[in-house]
C-alpha cells in the first residue's frame, strides 16, 4: 500500500509538471505567432528574392550586386555611421550610467533618469527628425537665437541633412539606450570589492584598472555591439532627415524599392537586406557570446 501511494504521488507530481509545462508553452503561442509572421516569413521572402531567380531556381547571381561600388560605398557609410554613433553613445551613456549607479536605487535621480532614458531610447524616426529641424534647423529656434548672438551653425555648410546630422540624430537615442543596457552591469559591481581592494592597500585607480575595468569590459563591449547593430538597422530617422547625399544601406533599400530608374534590379533590395541581415546576425552573435561572460557577474 505504501509503494502504491508513493507511486500515485509521483504520478500526480509528474502530471502536475506536465500540465505546468503545457500551460507555459501555450502562453508562448502569441509570441511564437509574432515571430513567425513578422520575422521568419519576411526573412524567407528576402532570402528567396536574393537567392532565387525568376524561375525559382537557386542562384548566386543576385549576390553579385554586393560587389557593386555604389553598394560597397553604402555599406562603408553605414558601418562608419554605426561605429561612430555606437562609440559616442557608449562613452556618454556609460558616463551617465556611472553617475546614476552611484545614487540610491530609490532616489529621485535614478527614477527620473531611467524613466527618461526608457522614453528617449525609443524617440527616433520622424518625431526625432522634426525635433532636430525645429530646434537646430535652418530656421530652428536655437539657430535663430545663436544667429542673433553672432553664431552661425551652418557657416561651413548645411550639415544637419547629411552624415553629421545623422550622427547627431543617432546619438540622441544611442546614449539613453546605453544607459539602460549598461546600468545593470554597474549595479553588479559590488561595493565589497572596492572595500577589499582598499583594505589590502590598493588605491582607487588600481581598483578601477584591475577590478572594475576587467569586470565591466564584457558588458561594455556587448553594449557597444548592441548599439552598432541598432544604428546599422535604423531607417526612419535617416529617411525623414536625409533625402539626398548620405547614401546608407537602409536608404539604398528604399531607393531600390521605390525608384523607377533601377530597371531590371527588382531584387536589389532583397540582396541589400540579406547583407544587412548577415552583418547584424554576426554582430548580435558576438554580443550574445560577450553577454554570457557578463552574466557571471550579475548573478
**Any residues with CB less than 8 A from the CB of 80 and at least 6 apart, and which?**
163
- Check: CB of residue 186 under 8 Å from CB of residue 97: yes
- Output the pLDDT for position 49: 83
Domain ranges of the chain: 1-59, 69-295
- Output the pLDDT for position 295: 67
Distances (CA, A) of 112 to 104, 120, 185: 12, 12, 19
Q: What are phi and psi of 52, to 5 degrees?
A: -120, 145
Burial (0-12, 13-18, 19+ Cβ within 10 Å), 254: middle
Query: How many angstroms separate the CA atoms of 174 and 11, rounded?
Result: 53
- Output the pLDDT for position 170: 96
Residue whose C-alpha is closest to residue 194's, from 180, 184, 208 = 208
- Output the pLDDT for position 230: 94
- Check: CB of residue 110 under 8 Å from CB of residue 104: yes
Query: How many angstroms separate the CA atoms of 21 and 117, rounded?
Result: 36
- Output the pLDDT for position 60: 76
What b/e readout covers 163-193, taking b as 16+ CB neighbours within 10 angstroms?
Answer: bebbbbbbbbbbbbbbbbbbbebbebbeeee
What is 69-295's CATH superfamily?
Answer: MetI-like (1.10.3720.10)
| DSSP-assigned letters across all residues of 216-253 | HHHHHHHHHHHHHHHHHH--HHHHHH-SSS---HHHHH
- Output the pLDDT for position 104: 85
**Any residues with CB less than 8 A from the CB of 220 and at least 6 apart, and which?**
90, 94, 182, 185
Residue whose C-alpha is closest to residue 158's, from 181, 179, 132, 182 = 132
Paired residues of 58 in beta bridges: 52
H-state helical runs in the chain: 2-27, 29-35, 41-51, 69-101, 108-120, 125-136, 141-148, 163-188, 191-199, 204-207, 213-233, 236-241, 249-258, 268-295
Q: Return the biggest CA–CA distance within the chain.
A: 96
Give average pLDDT by consecutive 10-residue segment, the chain, 299 residues.
Answer: 54 61 75 86 87 78 80 92 96 94 88 93 90 92 92 88 92 96 87 79 80 86 94 91 76 79 65 90 88 67
Residue whose C-alpha is closest to residue 250's, from 269, 228, 230, 229 = 269
Query: How many angstroms separate the CA atoms of 117 and 108, rounded?
Result: 14
**Any residues with CB less than 8 A from the CB of 299 and at least 6 apart, and which?**
none
- Check: CB of residue 42 under 8 Å from CB of residue 50: no
- Check: CB of residue 244 under 8 Å from CB of residue 189: no
pTM of the model: 0.84
Amino acid at each position: 500500500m505504501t509503494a502504491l501511494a508513493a507511486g500515485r504521488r509521483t504520478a500526480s507530481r509528474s502530471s502536475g509538471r506536465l500540465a505546468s509545462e503545457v500551460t507555459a508553452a501555450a502562453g508562448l503561442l502569441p509570441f511564437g505567432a509574432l515571430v513567425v509572421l513578422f520575422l521568419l516569413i519576411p526573412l524567407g521572402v528576402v532570402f528567396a528574392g536574393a537567392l532565387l531567380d525568376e524561375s525559382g531556381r537557386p542562384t548566386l547571381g543576385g549576390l553579385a550586386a554586393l560587389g557593386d561600388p555604389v553598394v560597397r560605398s553604402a555599406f562603408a557609410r553605414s558601418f562608419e555611421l554605426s561605429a561612430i554613433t555606437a562609440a559616442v553613445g557608449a562613452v556618454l551613456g556609460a558616463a551617465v550610467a556611472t553617475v546614476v549607479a552611484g545614487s540610491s536605487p530609490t532616489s529621485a535621480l535614478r527614477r527620473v533618469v531611467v524613466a527618461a532614458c526608457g522614453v528617449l531610447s525609443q524617440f527616433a524616426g520622424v518625431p526625432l527628425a522634426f525635433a532636430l529641424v525645429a530646434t537646430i534647423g535652418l530656421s530652428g529656434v536655437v539657430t535663430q537665437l545663436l544667429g542673433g548672438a553672432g553664431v552661425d551653425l551652418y557657416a561651413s555648410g548645411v550639415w544637419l541633412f547629411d552624415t553629421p546630422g545623422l550622427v547627431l540624430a543617432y546619438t540622441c537615442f544611442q546614449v539613453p539606450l546605453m544607459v539602460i543596457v549598461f546600468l545593470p552591469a554597474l549595479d553588479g559591481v559590488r561595493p565589497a570589492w572596492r572595500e577589499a581592494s582598499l583594505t589590502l592597500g590598493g588605491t582607487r585607480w588600481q581598483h578601477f584598472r584591475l577590478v572594475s575595468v576587467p569586470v565591466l569590459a564584457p558588458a561594455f563591449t556587448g553594449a557597444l555591439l548592441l548599439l552598432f547593430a541598432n544604428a546599422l538597422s535604423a531607417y526612419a530617422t535617416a529617411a525623414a532627415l536625409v533625402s539626398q547625399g548620405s547614401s546608407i544601406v537602409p536608404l539604398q533599400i528604399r531607393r531600390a524599392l521605390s525608384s523607377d530608374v533601377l530597371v531590371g534590379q527588382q531584387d536589389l533590395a532583397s540582396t541589400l537586406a540579406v547583407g544587412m541581415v548577415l552583418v547584424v546576425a554576426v554582430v548580435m552573435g558576438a554580443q550574445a557570446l560577450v553577454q554570457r561572460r557578463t552574466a557571471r557577474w550579475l548573478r
